[in-house]
């Protein structure tokens, strides 16, 4: 910023940042502070008494079995990791295939990139429609051809599998765009040199291309985990509603359910604060890494 030419003006810069700052304060800082504040109180949902309870809302999460917060945590981690792995491995494989000189190259790319536009919620509807036990084509096929009774509203393993597939399906294009961009920036002469030295395609991939892709892979890993943890609410809400029981009740779904449906403001706020801490850690982690990379 130091060598940038600067205009003079006392009020103009404040006027320019004003809209942004008003929104940041009203819709970001104020509600976040509220969440923190409310997490120390127990509130009657009908606007009655408010009692200061200290950290009780937090300890309740981990000690009261009816909250099953630990269980929700475990499910969220398993879900986010499965989605990230499935979506990233598939996308990396497809990107290596699409990076070859193919006659239909542009067509393939467009066909693999456009699903980025599909809303997470719509991805949920698409997979729900295929696996709906009454009308779903795949559910029918599984039952009448393979003898598998698909009931994701009763079977928690099937529920988990379905939301994982739906969430990963939607994320493939995002990862594909980044992996393809990464692959295209790998210098061609490096690969040709290795080929002349007698390294086969598999060897070339693991010893040259994959290490060069590691910044992209790391960035995508963080983004996919963030996606799995925080952005998959629509799929859960649409496909399983956290069920059966609480088998797919991931953390963001639980915050919403405890706050909006069960009207437990204190408990929901305490969960919000825990989630904020998680996002902050992930963001800081990622930025520190990227900074280091730039310095190299």
Partner 1 sequence: MTEHSRLRRFVPNIWLWLAIVVIAFPIYLVFNASTHTSAEILAAPMPLTPGPHFLKNYGEAILEGSKNLGASALTMLKNSLIMALGISIGKIVVSLLAAFAIVFFDFKLRSFCFWSIFVTLMLPVEVRIMPTYKVISDLGLLNTYAGLILPMVVSATAVFLFRQYFKSIPKEMAEASQIDGASPMQFFWHVLLPMTRTPIAAMFVIQFIYGWNQYLWPLLITTKTEYYTVLIGINRMLSGADVQIEWQIVMATTLLALIPPALVVIVMQKQFISGMTDREK
Going by the DSSP 8-state scheme, the letter that residue 104 receives in this structure is: T
Give Cα separations from 263 to 50, 199, 259 (angstroms).
14, 62, 5
Strand 50-52, strand 41-43: pairing: antiparallel
Non-local CB neighbours of 206 within 8 Å, separated by 6+ positions: none
Contact 137, 130 (CB under 8 A): yes
Q: Which is nearer to partner 1, 49 or 100 (CB)?
A: 100
CA-CA distance, 180 to 182, in Å (whole number)? 5
In this complex, which beta carbon is closest to partner 1, that of residue 65 or of residue 281?
Answer: 281
At closest approach, how far in Å is the CB of 200 from partner 1? 9
The least distance separating partner 1 from the CB of residue 17, rounded to whole angstroms, comes to 5
Q: Which residues inside 212-241 make contact with partner 1, applying CB under 8 A?
A: 216, 219, 230-231, 233-234, 237-238
**Closer CB to partner 1, 28 or 206, in the complex:** 28
* By CB under 8 A, residue 129 contacts partner 1: yes
Token pair for 62: 């981990």
How far is residue 133's CA from residue 150's CA, in Å, rounded to a whole number? 6
Residue 246 backbone dihedrals phi, psi, to 5 degrees: -120, 25
Query: From the CB of 232, what's the least distance to partner 1, in Å?
Result: 10
Closest to partner 1 by CB, 59 vs 184, is 184
206 touching partner 1, by CB under 8 A: no
Please state the closest distance from residue 220 (CB atom) to partner 1, in A. 10
Q: How far is the CB of 127 from partner 1 (least distance, A)?
A: 7
Is 210 a binding residue for partner 1 by CB under 8 A? The answer is no
How far, in whole angstroms, is CA 113 from its chain's centroid? Answer: 18
Tell me the two tokens of residue 14: 């404040």
Note the Cα 16 to chain centre separation in Å.
33
Distances (CA, A) of 84 to 75, 94, 128, 168: 14, 15, 20, 7
The nearest distance, CB 160 to partner 1, in angstroms, is: 19
Binding mask of the shown chain, residues 81 to 120, with x at each position contacting partner 1 by CB under 8 A = ---------x--xx--xx-xxx-x---x-xxxxxxxxxxx
Query: Which among 64-72, 76-84, 137-145, 206-214 is the span making contact with partner 1, rule CB under 8 A?
Result: 137-145
Could you say whether residue 40 binds partner 1 (CB under 8 A)?
Answer: no
- Applying CB under 8 A, what is the total number of residues that bind partner 1? 100
Whether the Cβ atoms of residue 96 and residue 106 lie closer than 8 Å to each other: no
Nearer to partner 1, 65 or 144 (CB): 144
Nearer to partner 1, 94 or 159 (CB): 94
Whether 229 and 252 have beta carbons less than 8 Å apart is answered as: yes
In the complex with partner 1, the residue whose CB is nearer, 65 or 79, is 79
- Distance of alpha carbon 228 from alpha carbon 126, whole angstroms: 18
């Amino acid at each position: 910023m130091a060598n940038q030419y600067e205009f003079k003006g006392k009020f103009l810069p404040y006027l320019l940042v004003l809209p942004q700052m008003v929104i940041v304060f009203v819709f970001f800082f104020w509600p976040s502070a509220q969440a923190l504040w409310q997490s120390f109180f127990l509130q009657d949902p009908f606007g009655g008494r408010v009692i200061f309870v200290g950290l009780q809302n937090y300890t309740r999460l981990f000690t009261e079995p009816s909250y099953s917060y630990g269980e929700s945590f475990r499910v969220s981690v398993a879900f986010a990791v499965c989605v990230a792995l499935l979506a990233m491995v598939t996308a990396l494989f497809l990107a290596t295939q699409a990076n070859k000189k193919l006659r239909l190259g542009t067509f393939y790319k467009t066909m693999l990139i456009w699903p980025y536009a599909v809303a997470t919620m719509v991805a949920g509807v698409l997979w729900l429609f295929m696996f709906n036990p009454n009308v779903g084509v795949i559910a029918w096929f599984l039952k009448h051809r393979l003898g598998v009774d698909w009931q994701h509203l009763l079977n928690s393993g099937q529920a988990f599998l379905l939301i994982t597939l739906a969430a990963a399906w939607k994320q493939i294009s995002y990862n594909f765009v980044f992996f393809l961009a990464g692959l295209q920036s790998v210098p061609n002469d490096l690969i040709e040199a290795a080929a002349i030295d007698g390294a086969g395609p598999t060897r070339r991939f693991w010893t040259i291309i994959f290490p060069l892709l590691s910044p992209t892979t790391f960035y995508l890993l963080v983004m996919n985990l963030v996606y799995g943890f925080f952005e998959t609410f629509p799929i859960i809400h649409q496909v399983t509603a956290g069920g059966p029981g609480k088998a797919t009740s991931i953390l963001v779904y639980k915050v919403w359910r405890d706050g909006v449906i069960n009207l437990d403001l204190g408990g929901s706020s305490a969960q919000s604060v825990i989630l904020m801490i998680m996002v902050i850690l992930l963001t800081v982690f990622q930025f520190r890494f990227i900074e280091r990379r730039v310095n190299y």
